[in-house]
C-alpha cells in the first residue's frame, strides 16, 4: 500500500485546519500543503500552521502530492476540482473531500477526474462543530469519529485501501456506504437534527427573545447546531433536499401525533410516545 508522501488541503477552515494539525501529529514526515482562496487566509495559515507550504495558486499546491482533500463547502467543490484537473497531476493522486453530501458530489467529481491521472473517492468524517474557521481547528477533532467512505463501481481497491489507511491514522472509525446510502443516513442523523434545531430556535425566539433570560442547558444543547454557518448549511440542505424533505415529512408526521395527543389530552398515549423516544435515544452509544 502506498504511503502518502505529501498531502494537499484545499481550504483551511475548521476541518481543513484540523486535518493539517492531525496529519502533523499522527503522520510525521508527510509534507502538507494548503490552498486558500485569499492571500489574507494564506498569511493566517502560515501564522497558525507552521511547517506547511501555503499558496493561493492551485498548481503550486497540487504539484507532486499523492492525496488532496477538498474542505470547502460542497457548492464550491466543482469549481476548484476543475482547476485541479487542469494541472499536471501525480500518477498516484487521489482526490477526496469532507463533504456532508455525496450523491451529487461523487457523480460530478468522479466523472471530472476520470480522464485525468487522478481518481476521486468520497469521504465524510463525521466531525465538526457549530464554530467555523481556522481559529477553531483542533488536532483531536477526528479522534474516534466515524468516517464514511463512498466507493463506487469505478473505485480501485488500492485507492480504497489507501483512504481507509489515511483516515484510520487520523483516529477515525471507518465505514463504507454507496453515495445514496450515505445521503439517506446523514439526512437522518445530521441534516434532520440541524433542521430541527433551526426550527426550535425560530419557534422559541422569533416572537420574543426575552425568554432567553430564563433558558438553561436543555435549550442550549437542543439548539447548539443552529449556530452553524448559514451559507454552508443552505448548500448542504439544497444538495440533499430529496432525502431531507423525506426526513422532514416524517418529522411532520410525528409532530402531528404529538399535537393530537395534547389536544385530546391522551396522557397514556403520550407516555408511550415519550417512552419510545427514550428507548430509541438510549440506543446511542455513550461517548
Q: For residue 127, what is the DSSP state?
A: -
| Residue range 248-259: mean pLDDT, rounded | 98
Secondary structure in 3-state letters for 13-58: CHHHHHHHHHHHHHCCCCEEEEECCCHHHHHHHHHHCCCCEEECCH
Q: Are 134 and 149 in contact (CB under 8 A)?
A: no
Q: Are 175 and 126 in contact (CB under 8 A)?
A: no
Nearest by Cα to 199 from 232, 237, 239, 243: 237
Higher pLDDT among residues 127 and 85, named by residue: 85
Residue 143: pLDDT band with limits 50, 70, 90 = very high
Number of H helices, E strands in the chain: 12, 9
| Predicted pLDDT at 1 | 45
CA–CA separation, 189 and 92 (whole Å) = 34
Q: For residue 185, is pLDDT > 50?
A: yes
CA–CA separation, 3 and 16 (whole Å) = 20
| Predicted pLDDT at 130 | 66
| Predicted pLDDT at 233 | 94
Percent of the chain at pLDDT exceeding 90: 89
pLDDT digits (tens, 9 = 90+) for 189-237: 999 999 999 999 999 999 999 999 998 899 999 999 999 889 999 999 9
Give CA 36 to chain center in angstroms.
18
Q: Which domains does the chain have, with CATH numbers?
A: 6-177 (3.40.50.720), 181-281 (1.10.3660.10)
Q: For residue 147, is pLDDT > 90?
A: yes
3-class secondary structure, 10: strand
Report the chain's mean pLDDT, rounded to a whole number: 94
C-alpha cell at 44: 493566517
| Residue range 181-186: mean pLDDT, rounded | 98
Contacts of residue 269, Cβ cutoff 8 Å, sequence gap at least 6:
261
pLDDT digits (tens, 9 = 90+) for 24-68: 999 999 999 999 999 999 999 999 898 899 999 999 999 999 999
Percent of the chain at pLDDT exceeding 70: 98
C-alpha cell at 255: 409532530
CA–CA separation, 71 and 16 (whole Å) = 6
CA–CA separation, 6 and 90 (whole Å) = 11
CA–CA separation, 117 and 84 (whole Å) = 11
Amino acid at each position: 500500500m502506498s504511503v502518502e508522501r505529501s498531502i494537499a488541503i484545499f481550504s483551511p477552515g475548521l476541518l481543513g485546519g484540523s486535518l493539517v494539525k492531525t496529519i502533523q501529529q499522527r503522520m510525521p514526515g508527510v509534507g502538507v500543503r494548503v490552498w486558500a482562496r485569499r492571500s489574507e487566509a494564506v498569511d493566517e495559515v502560515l501564522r497558525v500552521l507552521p511547517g506547511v507550504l501555503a499558496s493561493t495558486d492551485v498548481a503550486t499546491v497540487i504539484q507532486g502530492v499523492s492525496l488532496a482533500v477538498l474542505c470547502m463547502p460542497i457548492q464550491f467543490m466543482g469549481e476548484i476540482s476543475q482547476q485541479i484537473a487542469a494541472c499536471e497531476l501525480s500518477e498516484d493522486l487521489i482526490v477526496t473531500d469532507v463533504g456532508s453530501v455525496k450523491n451529487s458530489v461523487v457523480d460530478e467529481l468522479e466523472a471530472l477526474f476520470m480522464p485525468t491521472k487522478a481518481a476521486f473517492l468520497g469521504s465524510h468524517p463525521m466531525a465538526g462543530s457549530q464554530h467555523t474557521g481556522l481559529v477553531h481547528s483542533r488536532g483531536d477533532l477526528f479522534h474516534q469519529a466515524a468516517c464514511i467512505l463512498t466507493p463506487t463501481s469505478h473505485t480501485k481497491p488500492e485507492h480504497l485501501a489507501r483512504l481507509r489507511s489515511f483516515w484510520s491514522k487520523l483516529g477515525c472509525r471507518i465505514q463504507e456506504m454507496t453515495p445514496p446510502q450515505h445521503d439517506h443516513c446523514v439526512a437522518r442523523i445530521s441534516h434532520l437534527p440541524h433542521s430541527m434545531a433551526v426550527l426550535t430556535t425560530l419557534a422559541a425566539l422569533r416572537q420574543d427573545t426575552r425568554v432567553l433570560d430564563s433558558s438553561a442547558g436543555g435549550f442550549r444543547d437542543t439548539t447548539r447546531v443552529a449556530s452553524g454557518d448559514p451559507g454552508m448549511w443552505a448548500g448542504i440542505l439544497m444538495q440533499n433536499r430529496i432525502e431531507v424533505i423525506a426526513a422532514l415529512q416524517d418529522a411532520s408526521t410525528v409532530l402531528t401525533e404529538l399535537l393530537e395527543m395534547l389536544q385530546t389530552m391522551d396522557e397514556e398515549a403520550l407516555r408511550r410516545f415519550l417512552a419510545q423516544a427514550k428507548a430509541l435515544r438510549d440506543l446511542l452509544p455513550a461517548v
